[in-house]
């Protein structure tokens, strides 16, 4: 039987507020365990949580960017469960009245862009972190509450995702948007972006949803893709063997590249949700939402469209440049400095992105937009060839020097003086009688070799067009 997968993602994004969601403790990552705690986030009796305004604003920003409706009335609920990293034995979350309702994310696929529905975005607090000693003689566990109470938004997709690749594209776009908004650093290693996947399969062409399996413990986008591929194959095999899929939660084992069962899936009623009596409902008026909307930056999808129109860039280029806000800004600066857009794009997508470690810190690169524009103009006005330009580029990256100074001091100026080139051409013709004979007997390829020899002798500085013309002229005489 032919099956098709159905995928939905639940993504937790840690908001980059200075303080926690319901108290004024700091949220710095990697500090001394339990140094950023207070009675509120430790869940001591008698304390009262107060909502962090900044967290609310960032959640609304995120919702607006994901095209979600924003609820003017939302509230917080207690999600009850016991775990050592959760001192209150409940997590404050949003159940039936989340801050953001339905929206969508546009993803890039081979064909036309596709919309993946967002079911909701809600605010909640993070839990702490358990740490287990790996000393088998002394098996102790510790708990660090620094993360307890750090604000999260959970973004729940509709089951609209059709392939592991689409899931990957969804995450890329989601991350790109969150970073544009500056609501999170989305650092997966530090846990500020976490993703759980839900996947089921169904006979191709049918519409009812199959039983889904949830996979957790995915610590990279690659793991998301791999685990989905694995899980889809596993479910197909089960169904083909006449077995049933049981709704459950599985964990991804990155070392063995497989999922294993963790527990049968819990239901909402297991959590005994009820409204948190310590927190007033959140009422936001329209003007507050408009104010947040007005302060939003241009988002990747809009930027991509503008880049295609304004700079006549291929969609691919626009996508690469706009994936990271800082790259897009860098590109626009280079163009403002007078460079041709497609040429600027080629240099950035090729040499520059390969030459720097962190695309987000392109602004600190030694090759400033002004200097890259200058380098491009040196090629445009035939001062240097494209090939020499790559050398100059590498030099600029290392020395931080101005391209004109590099060209000058290293004597890299292109030779356009015909008589100077002519003497090199003559000596190449003289030294390579076999190739000359080949060319004259109709082997066009020999010309390439001879051009190469002239370029080599001139250390790449001869103007290739003049070299070509001179050679052809002399050889066909």
Strands 213-218 and 248-253, by their bridges, are: parallel
User: Which of Zn ion, ligand ADP, none does 74 bind, CB closer than 5 to 8 A by kind?
Assistant: none
Measured between alpha carbons, how far is 298 from 329 in angstroms, rounded to an integer? 11
User: Which of ligand ADP, Zn ion, none does 165 bind, CB closer than 5 to 8 A by kind?
Assistant: none
Q: Residue 208 or 476: which CB sits closer to ligand ADP? A: 208
Would you list the DSSP string of 291-334? HHHHTPPPPHHHHHHHHHHHH---HHHHHHHHHSHHHHHHHHHH
Name the minimum Å distance from CB 409 to ligand ADP: 59
User: Which of ligand ADP, Zn ion, none does 199 bind, CB closer than 5 to 8 A by kind?
Assistant: ligand ADP
CA 350 to chain centre: 18
Name the minimum Å distance from CB 196 to ligand ADP: 8
- At CB < 8 A and 24+ separation, what contacts does 220-225 make? 220/188, 221/168, 221/171, 221/172, 221/188, 221/195, 223/252, 223/254, 224/9, 224/164, 224/167, 224/168, 224/171, 224/195, 224/197, 225/164, 225/165, 225/167, 225/168
Q: Residue 49 or 103: which CB sits closer to ligand ADP? A: 103
User: Which of ligand ADP, Zn ion, none does 64 bind, CB closer than 5 to 8 A by kind?
Assistant: none
User: Which of Zn ion, ligand ADP, none does 212 bind, CB closer than 5 to 8 A by kind?
Assistant: ligand ADP
Could you list the residues that contact ligand ADP (CB under 6 A)? 6-10, 156-159, 198-200, 209-210, 212, 268
Name the minimum Å distance from CB 375 to ligand ADP: 47
Q: Total residues contacting Zn ion (rule CB under 5 A)?
A: 5
Touching Zn ion, residues 14-53 (CB under 5 A): 23, 25, 38, 40-41
Q: Residue 38 or 279: which CB sits closer to Zn ion? A: 38
Q: Residue 52 or 176: which CB sits closer to Zn ion? A: 52
Name the minimum Å distance from CB 201 to ligand ADP: 8
Name the minimum Å distance from CB 144 to Zn ion: 13
Residue 375 · residue 392 · CB < 8 Å: yes
- CB half-sphere exposure, 140, CA atoms < 13 A: 3
User: Which of Zn ion, ligand ADP, none does 335 bind, CB closer than 5 to 8 A by kind?
Assistant: none
Name the phi and psi angles at 299, rounded to 5.
Answer: -95, 160
Q: Residues with Cβ < 8 Å from 405, sequence gap 6 or more?
A: none
User: Which of ligand ADP, Zn ion, none does 197 bind, CB closer than 5 to 8 A by kind?
Assistant: none
User: Which of Zn ion, ligand ADP, none does 25 bind, CB closer than 5 to 8 A by kind?
Assistant: Zn ion
Measured between alpha carbons, how far is 418 from 420 in angstroms, rounded to an integer? 5
Unique residue bearing structure tokens 């390579």: 432
Would you list the DSSP string of 238-270? HHHTT--PPPEEEEEETTTTEEEEEEEPPPGGG
Q: How many CB atoms lie within 10 A of CB 363?
A: 12
Binding flag, residue 127, Zn ion (CB under 5 A): no
Would you list the DSSP string of 108-153? --SSS-EEEEEEEEEEEE---EEEE---TTS--EEEE-TTTT-EEE
- What tokens appear for 6 in the block? 């159905």
User: Which of ligand ADP, Zn ion, none does 23 bind, CB closer than 5 to 8 A by kind?
Assistant: Zn ion
Q: Residue 149 or 159: which CB sits closer to ligand ADP? A: 159
Name the minimum Å distance from CB 245 to ligand ADP: 10
Name the minimum Å distance from CB 174 to ligand ADP: 13
Name the minimum Å distance from CB 14 to Zn ion: 16
Name the minimum Å distance from CB 207 to ligand ADP: 11
Residue of this chain nearest to ligand ADP (CB atom): 8
Q: Which residues bind Zn ion (CB under 5 A)?
A: 23, 25, 38, 40-41
């Amino acid at each position: 039987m032919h099956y098709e997968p159905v995928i939905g993602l639940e993504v937790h994004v840690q908001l980059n507020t200075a303080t926690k969601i319901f108290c004024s403790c700091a949220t710095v990552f990697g500090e001394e365990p339990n140094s950023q705690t207070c009675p509120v986030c430790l869940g001591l009796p008698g304390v009262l949580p107060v909502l962090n305004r900044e967290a609310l604003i960032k959640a609304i920003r995120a919702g607006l960017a994901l095209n979600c409706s924003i609820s003017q009335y939302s509230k917080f609920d207690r999600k009850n469960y016991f775990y050592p990293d959760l001192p209150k034995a409940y997590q404050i979350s949003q159940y039936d009245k989340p801050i953001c309702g339905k929206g969508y994310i546009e993803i890039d696929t081979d064909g036309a862009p596709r919309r993946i529905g967002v079911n909701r975005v809600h605010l909640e607090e993070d839990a702490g972190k358990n740490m287990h000693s790996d000393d088998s003689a002394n098996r102790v566990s510790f708990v660090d509450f620094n993360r307890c109470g750090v604000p999260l938004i959970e973004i729940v997709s509709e089951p609209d995702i059709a392939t592991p690749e689409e899931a990957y594209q969804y995450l890329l776009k989601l991350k790109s948007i969150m970073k544009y908004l500056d609501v999170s650093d989305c650092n997966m290693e530090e846990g500020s972006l976490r993703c759980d996947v839900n996947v089921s399969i169904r006979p191709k062409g049918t519409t009812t949803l199959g039983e889904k399996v949830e996979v957790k413990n995915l610590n990279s986008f690659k793991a998301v893709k791999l685990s989905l591929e694995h899980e889809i194959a596993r479910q197909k095999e089960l169904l083909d063997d006449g077995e049933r899929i049981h709704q459950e939660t599985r964990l991804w084992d990155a070392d063995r590249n497989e999922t294993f069962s963790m527990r049968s899936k819990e239901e909402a009623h297991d959590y005994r949700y009820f409204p948190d009596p310590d927190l007033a409902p959140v009422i936001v008026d329209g003007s507050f939402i408009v104010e947040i909307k007005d302060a939003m930056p241009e988002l990747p999808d809009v930027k991509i469209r503008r880049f295609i129109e304004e700079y006549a860039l291929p969609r691919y280029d626009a996508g690469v440049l706009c994936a990271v806000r800082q790259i897009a800004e860098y590109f626009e600066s280079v163009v403002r400095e007078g460079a041709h857009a497609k040429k600027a794009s080629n240099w950035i997508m090729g040499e520059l992105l390969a030459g720097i470690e962190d695309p987000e810190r392109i602004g600190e690169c030694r090759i400033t937009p002004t200097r890259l524009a200058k380098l491009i103009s040196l090629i445009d006005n035939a001062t240097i060839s494209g090939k020499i330009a790559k050398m100059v580029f590498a030099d600029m990256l290392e020395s931080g020097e101005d391209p004109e100074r590099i060209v000058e001091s290293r004597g890299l100026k292109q030779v356009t003086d015909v008589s100077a080139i002519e003497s090199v051409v003559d000596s190449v013709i003289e030294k390579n009688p076999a190739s000359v004979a080949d060319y004259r007997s109709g082997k066009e390829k020999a010309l390439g070799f001879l051009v190469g020899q002239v370029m080599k002798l001139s250390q790449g500085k001869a103007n290739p067009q003049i070299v070509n013309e001179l050679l052809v002229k002399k050889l066909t005489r």
